[in-house]
Structure 1
Amino acid sequence: MFDMIPVNEPLLNGNEKKYLNECIDTGWISSEGPFIKAFEEKMAARVGRKYGIAVSNGSVALDAAILALGIGKGDEVIMPAFTIISCAAAIVRAGAVPVLVDSDPEDWNMDVTQIEAKITPNTKAIMVVHIYGLPVNMKAVMEIADKHGLRVIEDAAEQHGQTYNGKPIGSFGDISTFSFYPNKHITTGEGGMIVTDSEELAEKCRSLRNLCFIPEKRFLHHELGHNFRMTNMQAALGLAQLERLDEFVSIKRTMGKKYTGILKNQPGIQLPPESNEDAENIYWVFGVVLDDSIPFDAETAMKKLGSMKIGTRPFFWPMHEQPVFQKMGLFAGESYPIAERIARRGFYLPSGLALKTGDIDIVCKAVAEILN
C-alpha cells in the first residue's frame, strides 16, 4: 500500500529555512525588509524586465496591472474564455468588460486567430494567459496589438522559467504578472509579482499596493489604493526558490517526459504536446483530456482516481459559464465549444516538484486501469 499521492507538493529544501531564520533573527517580518527588494530585482532581471513589484498574490497583481494601465468603465479587454477567474475578475472590478476568445484544442491556450474579430472601438487591451505548459503565440498577439494600438497584459503565472523563441515569458507587452501559489515553480506560499519596463507603470503599481500613500504626507491620500503588500518572509522564500528555478524547470520537464513516455500509447486520452515551434513544454501541470469515446467525464475520472489514492485537480471552468458573471448579465448567449469541452473532459495528474519517479508509474497504472 502507498499513501495518497498529492496533486502537488513543493520542494523547500534549499535556502528557504536559512532566509526565513534571517527574517526572524533581524525582526524584519513585515512588508518592509531587504528580501523584498532583492526578490523584486532578481525576478525582474530573470525575465528581462527593468522593474519588479512584489504583491500579496497573483490575483491582485492582475488588479494592479489593470488599474495602472488606466483601464476602466466601458473599456474592453480581450482575454481567453479558458482560464482562472482572477483574470476576468480584475477586468470586471475595474468597471471594464472582458471579451472572450476560445481555446486552441491542442495546447489549450487562447486561439489568437480569433482576437482581431473581437476588436471594437472600445477595446483597450489584450490579456494573454499562458496556460499550463506552452506559451501563447506572442508574435501574433504583439502584431495585432501594434496594429490596433492596444496594450498587452501578460499573465505568466503558470510558466516561471519558460521562454518563447528564446525570450523569457514575462517579458512581453506593457506589463506582466506572476503568481507564487504553492503549486507554481516558485512559491512564497501566497504571493505575486508585477514586472514592467515602464517606470511610470512601476510607480503606479507600487502606489496602488500600498494604499496610495504619498511621500510628502504619509496619511494624506489623493487616490484610493489597496493593501497588496508582500511580507519580507514571503520574499525570503521566493528568493530561495528563484535560486533553483533552472533546476525546477528541469525536474518538471523530466516528469512530463516520463508521463508522456508511459501514456503516449494509451487509448482514450489526449496528452499535452511535448513542444511546438516556439517552446518546449514546461509542464507546470501534466494535464490530460478524455477522448469523446470515454463514456465518463473528468469529474468521474477524478473520483475513480481519488478512490485509488491519486490526487487530481480539474481544469479551469470557462468564464462565460461562471454563475457570478451570468448573474451580472455578462456573456449572454455566448458559446466557446473548445473551452467547454476541455473543462468537462480535462484534469491534471500529480505534477508537484516533490513527485517521486515511482509515483508516476503508480499514477499511470491507475489511469490505464480506469480507461481500460
Structure 2
Amino acid sequence: MKFIAQPQISEEEISLVSSTIRNGQFVEGKNARALEKEFAEFVGAKHAICAVNGTAALHLAMEAANILPGAEVITPAFTFIASANSITFGGGIPIFAEIDPETYTIDPESIKKLVTPQTKAILPVHIFGLPSDMNIIRDIAEDHDLVIIEDACQAHGAKIDGQHVGTFGDMGCFSFYATKNMISGEGGMIVTDDDDLASRIKSLKNHGRGPSGGYEHHRIGYNYRLPDPLAAIGLIQLRKLPSMLEKRKRNAEALRQTISELEHINIQKTPIGYTHSHYVCAPVVDENKYSVDNVIKELKARNIASRRIYALGCHKQPTYLQGIKEWRWNMYVNYPDYSTVNLPITDRISENHFEVPIHPGVTETEVEIIKNALKEIFG
C-alpha cells in the first residue's frame, strides 16, 4: 500500500489505445465521440463535451458562462487550486466561502452572506466525491439569478437522491486525471442540458470553429481537444467504472465503520439520500489530542501511504496571497486582500486531515491492515 492512488489499467485499455495509434487516430475523433455519448448517458445529461483535462473543462465552463473580468464567483477554499484558478484565468474574482464542518463541502449559509451585486456564479466543489448541498445552492442561485458550475472533478458516480452530480447546475465539470475514479491519463468532460452552452463550449475548445469545422473561426478559442488515444483509455474506464466504484465503496465503508468506533478522529459525513463516490477517504483528527503529522508518520512506518491533500486552503496559497499581485488581470481587476479572509473551519480541516488508500487496487486484506493500524494509533 505504498500508493494513495493506483490506476487500474488492463489489456482492454492497452488494446484499444494500440489499435487507435495503429489506425493513425491521434487527434480527437471517434473514441472521444463514443466517450461523450456514453458519459452523457452515465450522468443523465443531454450533452457531454470532452476536454484535455479537468482544469480546461472548468475554464471552458467559465468562458461559456461569460464570466467577465471583475465578476465574482463564490467557491470553497478547501479544494484543489484549479477550482479557484479557473475563475481567475479570465479575470473573475474567486470569493472563498466557508465549508460545513461535517461534510467539508461549501456551506450554503456562507454563500448567502457573500452574494453581492458583482456575484455572477457559484462554483460548488463535490469534495472527495461527496455532493455539495445542491438543492439549497440551486435555490440561492435562482433567488439571485446566478449561474451554477459544478466542480465534479472528484465525483464520478456521486448522486443526490439518484440524480448524478454535474446535472444540478448549468454545467458540470469532471476530470479524468490519473488518480481519479476513472482516468484517461489527462482528460476532462463538461456536461450540460443547455444546447447553446454546449455549442459554445464545442467552439471554444476548438479554436473558435463552427460546427462544420475547417478553417472558419467564429470566436477567440483554445486548443482543449482530447487526443483520441487518451479518449480510448477513458472509454474503457467508463465501462469499468461501476465495478471500480463498488470496490471503492467496500473499502471506504469498512474504514468508516472502524473510524466511527474510535475517539478523537472523525470522517466526512454523508447525508441521507447522498451517494458518495469515494474518491478520497480523509479522516480528521482532534488537534488537541493528536498531531496529524505524527499520524501520517505512524501510517507510513506501517507501509501505509498517507498524506494531507489540501494542507493549505486556496485563500492561504501563495498564489492568492502574493502571486495574484503579479497576475495580468490585477492591472484591471480589484482583487480582495486574501490575507484577510477568515475561514476557521476550512483551516481546521485543512490542517488536521490525512488520507488513506481506498482505490480499487486495495484488497480486503489490506483494508484490514489499515483498520488495525488506525486502532493501534487511536486506540
TM-score scaled by length of structure 2: 0.91
Q: Is the counterpart of residue 308 in structure 1 residue 315 in structure 2?
A: no
Amino acid at match of 1:202: A
Q: Is the counterpart of residue 17 in structure 1 residue 14 in structure 2?
A: yes
Partner of 1:62: 58
Greater mean deviation of Cα atoms: 317-326 or 276-285: 276-285
Amino acid at match of 2:258: I
Q: Is the counterpart of residue 34 in structure 1 residue 27 in structure 2?
A: no
Q: Is the counterpart of residue 318 in structure 1 residue 313 in structure 2?
A: yes
Q: Is the counterpart of residue 368 in structure 1 residue 375 in structure 2?
A: yes
Secondary structure class of the residue paired with 1:349: coil
Displacement of 1:222 after TM fit?
5.3
Greater mean deviation of Cα atoms: 74-83 or 277-286: 277-286
1:257-305 CA distance string (max 9 Å, x none): 11123332222211233x3123133321111001133241x33422332
Partner of 1:149: 145
Count of paired positions: 366
Q: Is the 8 A contact 2:129 2:156 kept in 1?
A: no
- Superposition map of 1:108-257 within 5 A: 108-214=104-210, 218-219=214-215, 221=217, 223-257=219-253
Of residues 330, 342, 355, the one that matches 2:349 is 342
Secondary structure class of the residue paired with 2:185: coil
Partner of 1:279: 274
Displacement of 1:344 after TM fit?
0.5
Secondary structure class of the residue paired with 2:130: coil
Percent identical = 33
Pick closer, same or farther for the CA change 1:25–1:136 going to 2, 3 Å: same
Q: Is the counterpart of residue 355 in structure 1 residue 352 in structure 2?
A: no
Greater mean deviation of Cα atoms: 227-236 or 204-213: 204-213
Secondary structure class of the residue paired with 1:240: helix
Amino acid at match of 2:260: K
1:89-134 CA distance string (max 9 Å, x none): 0111110111111111111101112111111111101111101132
Partner of 2:94: 98
Secondary structure class of the residue paired with 1:7: coil
Pick closer, same or farther for the CA change 1:14–1:154 going to 2, 3 Å: farther
Amino acid at match of 2:185: G
- CA distance, structure 1, for counterparts of residue 62 and residue 243 of structure 2: 33
Displacement of 1:14 after TM fit?
6.5
Q: Is the 8 A contact 2:173 2:190 kept in 1?
A: yes
Secondary structure class of the residue paired with 2:339: coil
Secondary structure class of the residue paired with 1:255: helix
Secondary structure class of the residue paired with 2:129: coil
Pick closer, same or farther for the CA change 1:216–1:12 going to 2, 3 Å: closer
- CA distance, structure 1, for counterparts of residue 210 and residue 150 of structure 2: 28
- CA distance, structure 1, for counterparts of residue 236 and residue 337 of structure 2: 42
Amino acid at match of 1:44: A
Amino acid at match of 2:24: G
Gaps in structure 2 of 5+ consecutive residues: 325-335
